[in-house]
Amino acid sequence: MEYTQCWLQYKKISDVNKLDVNVYCGETGRLIDRIYEELALGFWDMYHRKIKISGGAANTGTGNGIVLTVNEKSSLGPEGYSLKSNRGRCIIEADTQVGLLYGTFALLRNLQTGESKAPKPAANFDNWSWEEEKIPSNPLRMLNHWDNMDGSIERGYSGESFFFHDNEIIVNDRTRAYARLMASVGINAVVINNVNVKDAATELITERYYTQLRKLADIFESYAIKLYLSINFASPVELGELDTADPLDERVGKWWREKAEEIWKNLPGLGGFLVKADSEGRPGPYTYGRTHSEGANMLAEAVKPHGGTIIWRCFVYNCRQDWRDKITDRAKAAYDNFKPLDGTFADNVILQIKNGPMDFQVREPVSPLLGGLSKTNMILEFQIAQEYTGQQKHVCFLIPWFKEVLNFDMYCKEKLSTVGDLVSGKTYHQVKCGIAAVANTGNDNNWTGHDLAAANLYGFGRLAFDTGLSSERIAKEWIALTYGFEEKVVKNINKILQMSWPAYEKYTSPLGIGWMVTPHTHYGPSVDGYEYDSWGTYHRADHFGIGVDRSNKGTGYCSQYNPPLDTIYGDKETCPEELLLFFHYVDYSYTLSSGKTLLQHIYDSHFEGVEDVEKMICLWEEIKEAMDMDSYNNVILKLNEQLNSAKEWRDVINSYFYRKTGIPDVKGRNIY
């Protein structure tokens, strides 16, 4: 089995000092074993030094070395750590062993990357001084895999599943390598199966799979990661035991209580369930005329005695909206369905809310539901699988986008009202909250298809752990850990990453309109694809203009935002331009702040987007000499595909608008 270690390569730094590094630790257990293994590997690979373990709580030593101590009174919480290194004596302190594990990964990372501006490794551990204290920003830092049990992955762009094959669960060295990678960036919860739970996946909560799940959960636990499962709301029916899944039918409640008993007996550390209900054809409480809180709370009651949590997705909308209906608005759906239920969910239910009201487009406003719930546990859902952002054939570093979302003020309170505050529990003091992302991994040997897509995996974990990190810091860390410390390499790859999301936005769909992708596959342009599909999602372009009127004269979506956002979005003149067409129908001749017409802006940005990809290619070519051939080739091949695809986007979009309007490009460029 071939696979890379991604950012955990521990590249050689120096071997000036060959003495063993003493490690003092009074703790024992599996997490501590993981810590020793990691230190041994890291110090050997980076410095050619062995570690010498001295146990014994009292014997923390006074000399050089690494001291790991659990101090329950240090107020670092269940997962925080403090790391202090002063010329060869490094103390990692935490309230728990989990904190020590994170502190250890931080030590190894910091030794390689140093300060933020230009990553610089510590040439000699014995001279190294460093201080940091971290408590994770978010209690839950979760990955959602959309892996199917036949081995396919819904919206997967990196090969097949490494969890499932032929309806069996795979547990092998790669499972462990995966857990280690995730723990190194602070992921503490993983859902291994697709939210669309069908066929064999419905049986994950039966005897058929417990033995393998137990083995998997065990490996995860040894890296402080909790296993979660997606479940089928209609399990009692689909497993053939009842004729209803009505949450208020006592037989259903009883079925789930007994099921939970059985599940937790077999999987004692299980975190709980993720549920996609009444969404895109999946069963849910609406089938029985019940509300989402009635559905979620019934499950919550069943799992509560076992410490389980129900994560309930808010991706509920009418996916068959008629094109003539200009009032039904998919963007409004999550808020309409869930806002009235605020305060009715059990305390072990968490609502999982996509970052935008639509579906992971390259640009969307932040979901108003995030600013609408104050008495409900929430978790934010991002997607690092690049379903709508180039499918890991295009480089599209999403961390700057995620930063914008997290920093966005929802105006739901005087203070502490950004999305980051809300989902971390700062605003309303929830403890069950955090951030999840749809994973971008598969069994390709680099894990993520495009080598540069690993930056999103790494970046998501780092950002969920420490929301304050800048996207620049995250990118540079990842580059240094993956490609080494050479200045030019770090500089060029960082440039590529930072320009990639804006570039993607420029050559695809303009000003927040989204969706101009090929229906269902979601790769490549098809301007009217969804406009004329029965799975309707509309941009409403005609000969005069384009955009969806979501002001109060249109669908009224903007009024789901707290003031002043509702009026800012509701007026063309104050609406941020990058979202103009999301909120308004605008004439092609409308003048933007740049002085250009809307149409000219569309033309220009599509030409610019392609030029940006050309620049990215030059930046990559410039560092060819410093790269090994495999790394170089993986990315250059993908960049060439990206360039072709960007040109296709440019030409398809520009000629669409040229032909709709008959107005030529003022710069006279070639538009078909």
Ligand X SMILES: CO[C@H]1[C@H](O)[C@@H](O)[C@H](O)O[C@@H]1C(=O)O
Q: Which residues bind ligand X (CB under 6 A)?
A: 146, 154-155, 194-196, 276, 280, 315, 359-360, 387
Rounded Cα distance between 451 and 453, Å, is 5
Rounded Cα distance between 205 and 265, Å, is 12
**Annotation says 280 is catalytic:** yes
CB of 508 to ligand X, least distance (A): 16
Which H or E run includes 112? helix 97-113
CB of 144 to ligand X, least distance (A): 9
Nearest to 54 by CA among 21, 90, 25: 25
Q: Catalytic one among 93, 329, 387, 549?
A: 387
CB of 319 to ligand X, least distance (A): 10
Nearer Cβ to ligand X (181/353): 353
Nearer Cβ to ligand X (145/650): 145
**Annotation says 387 is catalytic:** yes
The secondary structure of residue 590, as a DSSP letter, is P
Which strands sit side by side in the sheet containing 51-54, from one edge to the other? 51-54, 21-25, 65-70, 89-94, 81-86, 130-134
CB of 234 to ligand X, least distance (A): 16
Nearer Cβ to ligand X (274/671): 274
CB of 511 to ligand X, least distance (A): 21
Nearest to 88 by CA among 103, 74, 69, 107: 107
Nearer Cβ to ligand X (155/601): 155
Our CA angle for 582, 461, 361, nearest 5°, is 15
Nearer Cβ to ligand X (102/315): 315
Q: What is each CA distance from 89 to 48, 92, 106, 577, in whole angstroms?
A: 18, 10, 15, 53
What residues contact residue 153 under an 8 Å CB cut-off, 6+ apart? 145, 146, 147, 160, 161, 194, 442
Q: Name residue, tokens 């680099």.
A: 446
Rounded Cα distance between 436 and 402, Å, is 12
CA torsion angle 362 368 369 371 (round to 10): 120
What residues contact residue 232 under an 8 Å CB cut-off, 6+ apart? 197, 198, 201, 202, 238, 282, 283
Map residue 312 onto helix, strand or coil.
strand
Nearer Cβ to ligand X (154/531): 154
Nearer Cβ to ligand X (106/195): 195
Q: Catalytic one among 33, 280, 528, 622?
A: 280
CB of 379 to ligand X, least distance (A): 14
Q: Catalytic one among 126, 246, 278, 359?
A: 359
* Side chain identity at residue 402, one-letter code: F
CB of 199 to ligand X, least distance (A): 15
CB of 359 to ligand X, least distance (A): 4
**Annotation says 160 is catalytic:** no
Closest-by-Cβ residue to ligand X is: 359
> How does DSSP assign 18-67, residue by residue?
-SPEEEEE---SHHHHHHHHHHHHHHHHHHS--EEEE--SS---SSSEEE
Nearer Cβ to ligand X (319/626): 319
Residues with a catalytic annotation lie at 280, 359, 387
